[in-house]
Every structure is written in structure tokens, then in C-alpha cells.
A = this chain, B = another copy of it.
Amino acid sequence: MARISTEERQVLIIDEAIKIIHEMGYQSFSIRELSTRVGISEPAIYRHFLNKEDIVLGILGRFNEFDVKLFNEVKLNEKPVEKIQCFVQYHFNFLEKNPGMTSIVFAEEIFNQSSLIREKMLSIMEKRKRILKDIIDEAKLGNQVIDLETDEILMVILGIIRLAVLEWRMSGFAFSLSKRGTKTVDTIGKLLLVKK
């Protein structure tokens, strides 16, 4: 209805797309539903995106924005141990504020839509792993984490984050993820960090 620029409209469309997937699942994410929610007609959506795949790629773009913020936040800390704790806590804090993003990560169906989407998601996950891996290696150099292969430590940390988020989702977002994160940071400390 109201005429606004493509740049502004694209933001509104992606916002609403994430909401739909979060509230109703990817199966219910149709151009019809999307256009109704945004308040424009179906063909109007195609003025701002090439096709449905293009919209999904736009959603994945939001993860890049998160990664940049995460990377900058982690850098603020000096000690590697604090960086690890920051990495974990920042994840939980962000997802608590953006629960819709968890619905994207856990909807594997989305990544089966096209090879382009699949590759983009894989590169996002690789990048995130890389960030944490570098911190762990740094911590190992200073003998601040226990003597275990980096990849195994990585698995423990990422595994517990992912499972905590999954339980949060399955509970219907009933508990505070940030608080759960504090406990997770504590557990990781007890398990992986070398006591002084």
C-alpha cells in the first residue's frame, strides 16, 4: 500500500519472514503469508526479491551481522579464558533477545532448499567455529585449558550451547536463556579451565 524504498521494504520483509518461520515453521512460510503480513500484494514481494531463495539468503545475511558483533565483543576481553566466557554468554544473550533466529538455525529443511543456501549456512557455521577455535588455541598456549585436543574442547562447548538452546526452544522459551548461559559458563569453567 504505502510506497517506500526497496531498501526499507527489504528490511521489513526479512523481519516478517523470520517471524513467520519462528511462529509457524518454515512450512508455513509462503509468499502469500509473507505479503499479507507485510501489508502488500504477493507480486509486490517480487519487486524487492528475485525469488523465495533470495529472501532466505537475506535472512541468512542477518547471521553475518551477528558474527561481526560477536567478534567485536569477544575482542574487548584480554585473557583467552574471558574470551571463551564472553563467546558463550554473548550467544545466549543475543538469542534471548532474538528467539526467532534459533528457529532458523534449527530448521534444517531451510538448508535443503538449494545448494546456494546450504553453502552459505555452512560457511556461517564454519566461520563461527573458527572464531572459537582460535581462542581455544590461544588459551592452550598459555596452559589455561586442560590438555585435550582443540577439536574435542570445541565440541564440548558448541555442543552444550546448542543443546541448551534446543531445550530452551522445546520448553517454549519458558526459562531465561541468559541465566542458563551463566550456568553453562560455570560448567565449562569447571570442566575445561585449569584451576590456579
Contact with B along A148-180 (1 / 0, CB 8 A): 100010011011111110100010000000000
A52 CB, nearest partner CB in chain B, Å? 12
What residues of chain B lie closer than 8 Å to A108, measured between beta carbons? 25, 106-108
Contact with B along A111-148 (1 / 0, CB 8 A): 01000000000100100000000000000000000101
Copies in the complex: 2
The listed residue (B25, B125, B164) touching A109 by CB distance below 8 A is: B25
Do B27 and A187 touch (CB < 8 A)?
no
CA distance in complex: A161, B166 (Å): 14
A19 CB, nearest partner CB in chain B, Å? 15
A169's closest neighbor in chain B, by CB?
Answer: B108
Size range of the chain A interface in the assembly: 20 to 34
CA distance in complex: A107, B110 (Å): 10
Do B164 and A160 touch (CB < 8 A)?
no
With contacts A108-B108, A191-B191 known, is A163 near B158, CB below 8 A? Answer: yes
A180's closest neighbor in chain B, by CB?
Answer: B155
Question: At the interface, yes or no: A62 with Cβ under 8 Å from chain B?
Answer: no
A contact residues vs B (CB 8 Å cutoff): 24-27, 106-109, 112, 122, 125, 146, 148, 152, 155-156, 158-164, 166, 170, 183-184, 187, 190-192
Q: What 10 A-B pairs come out closest when comparing CB atoms?
A: A159-B159, A159-B163, A25-B112, A159-B160, A152-B187, A109-B109, A106-B108, A191-B191, A155-B160, A155-B163
